[in-house]
Each structure stands twice: as C-alpha cells, then as structure tokens.
Amino acid sequence: YSWYCPEVKIRFVHNYTHLTAMETRLLCGSIDLEQDTVWQRISVEFKRKDEEKFSRKVSGNSGYLLGKPVLVTRLQIPENDTAEEKRSKKYMLSYFTNGTRDPDETFRLKLPKSRRNHCVLDDQFHHQVLFGESLWTKCNYSPQLNVSIESNLTLFCQQLQTNINDLLLHNLTPTSSDYNSLNLYLSKYGNPVNRSSDWIQLNSQNYINEPVTASSANSQLFSCNNMLLNVKYQFYHGKATVRHVPHQSVLQEAELVFGPRVNLQFTMDEEIRVPIYVQVQFFDLTAASGGSWIWGSGLHLMVFVVNLMVILLM
C-alpha cells in the first residue's frame, strides 16, 4: 500500500484583472499499487476575490423549497425623506444593492426564542421563518428596568413596550409614523428576481395606534395599559408554473396580524416578567382542501493555500 491522492482541486482566485492567489486541495488516502489502473480526478475552478460579499444564498431554484428561509428585504429610504417624497419616489430594494450589499443573514426574518424561560434574539440564538414550517413560540421578557414610587410610570411602560417591540417586531420598520405600513418585502420566489412586482409587501392587520399609558391604584400597584404582547405571521402560497417549470411553490401574500392590546398589573417590589407570543402559519392556497397549513474511509483532506506570486517567481 502507498499514499495516493485520487482527487485534486485547484482554485484560482482573481479580481477580474489579475490572479491573486491559488488554492490546492488534495483528497488522499492509501491504495493498493498492484491495481492495473489508477485514476486521478483533477478539477480547476476560478473564483472571484471576496465572492462571499457578492454571492447570494437562495432558497430554491425557482420556487421555494420546504424548510428554506423566507427571503426578505427593505426599500432603501433615506432618513430625511419627507412623507410626500416617500409616496412619490421610487426606491431600490437593498437585496440587489451592488458593492455594499449586506450579509445574507440580513435578508432573513428572525423571531425570539426561549432559553432558560427567557426571550433571546441575537445573531447566534433565534428562530428563523422557514418556508412551509409553522411555528408557535412563547417566552418571558424580563426588562433591565428599575421602577419605584418616584418613577415616571408612563415612561417606564413606554420603554417596556419599546423593548418588547424589539423582540416581536425585530427589524420591522414602518414606512410612516406607525405600523400600519411596513417597510418589509418578501420574495415570491426562492431564487429572487430583481423586479419590484416579484416582491410582496408584508401587510399589517389589526394594528391599533393607541399610546401606552400607566395608572396607579395605590403606592404598591401600577398598571401598564394598551400593551402589545403577541403577533402572528401568516403566509399564503401556492403551486404555479415558473419559467416553464411546473409545481413551483410561490409566495402570494403575507400578513403581520397584531394581537389585542392588554393591561398589565405589577407590584412595585416584584421582578417584572412579561410573556410574549409569536405564531407563524403557512397556508397552501392550491391544496385540495382549498387552503391548509403545513407543519412543519481512510481519506484525509489536506488544504494548501499558496500565494500565486510565489509560484510565478519560482
């Protein structure tokens, strides 16, 4: 037996005008040299430098694949644009911005997740909206806020709602002064198309624009009124023929349904813990029932990275 590399992969890295590096991967193992024929496969690939900044992960070839992320983006609206400009101007979807494109994770819909009975939503720990997979989650939010008899209770309750919104409505920005219109668009296809008509706006349902207020019956009890604690995402999809390919899953409509406003009562000395709820449902408009929701060998790899300039100088 002898050492043998049946597969060799050579990758040239370039910036369109110059070759900048070369990477060679050898897949090796032991072989019986008494064999009559020994095969070796060599492949060559050219890769754009920093391609990860420009490439896009997709969720299907045309339509969506089950379990792949629902792809979302936002209109790039300058902060100082007026309401009139927002109505009349045409804006670009950030998903197709060249050069300064955001990472792929920016184009995912993230939801809070319970860890040790507390709400968590960060880059490493969260739920993600996956096509065709319904979800119901509950977690408890414990604010890092202090309250006392001297506190401005209205400001406390408003800050509490703001913090809860960061979990319930993560990265959802309104196009106006409230959440009746949302700056969030979803790709109809798993492989997005750079056409505004192939993206659908997330519709807002049952939003009540009532201010959060506070009231106090005595020095020990107080209430936060008109609090929002639950939302539901509803996605409607169906099978269609896309680019002459039949039976593709295409997203048709999406809604964010706001739950009812509630009043919360606390005591001054208790540890505040607020339960919040998020639900995700997918409805197949082309299902037979007229709409249902889905539940979701001794080889060693060696990598050698060689700067091309070294090779050229040899």
With beta carbons less than 8 A apart as the criterion, state whether 278 and 137 touch: yes
- Cα–Cα distance, 182 to 171 (Å, whole number): 10
Q: To which H or E segment does residue 119 belong?
A: strand 118-120
| 91 contacts 76 by C-beta, under 8 angstroms | yes
Give pTM, 2 decimals. 0.71
Most confident by average pLDDT, 11-25, 124-138, 285-299? 124-138
- What Rg do the C-alpha atoms of the chain give, in angstroms? 27
* Band of pLDDT at residue 55, cut at 50, 70 and 90: low
Residue 14 contacts residue 20 (beta carbons within 8 Å): yes
How sure is the predictor about 192, in pLDDT bands with cuts at 50, 70 and 90? confident
pLDDT over 90 at 235, yes or no: yes
Does the pLDDT value for residue 246 go beyond 60? yes
SS3 57: coil
Q: State the pLDDT at residue 16.
A: 66
Contact between 65 and 163 under an 8 Å Cβ cutoff? The reply is no
Structural element, H or E, at residue 134:
none
Q: Distances from the Cα of 280 to the Cαs of 93, 102, 136, 148, 232, in angstroms?
A: 24, 25, 6, 37, 6
pLDDT bin (cut points 50, 70, 90) of residue 201 is very high
What are the tokens at 195?
């056409």
- Report the first-to-last Cα separation within the chain, whole angstroms: 33
Residue 213, CA distances (Å) to 159, 168, 216, 225 in order = 11, 19, 11, 5
Instruction: Report how far residue 198's alpha carbon sits from residue 201's, in angstroms, rounded to the nearest whole number.
Output: 10
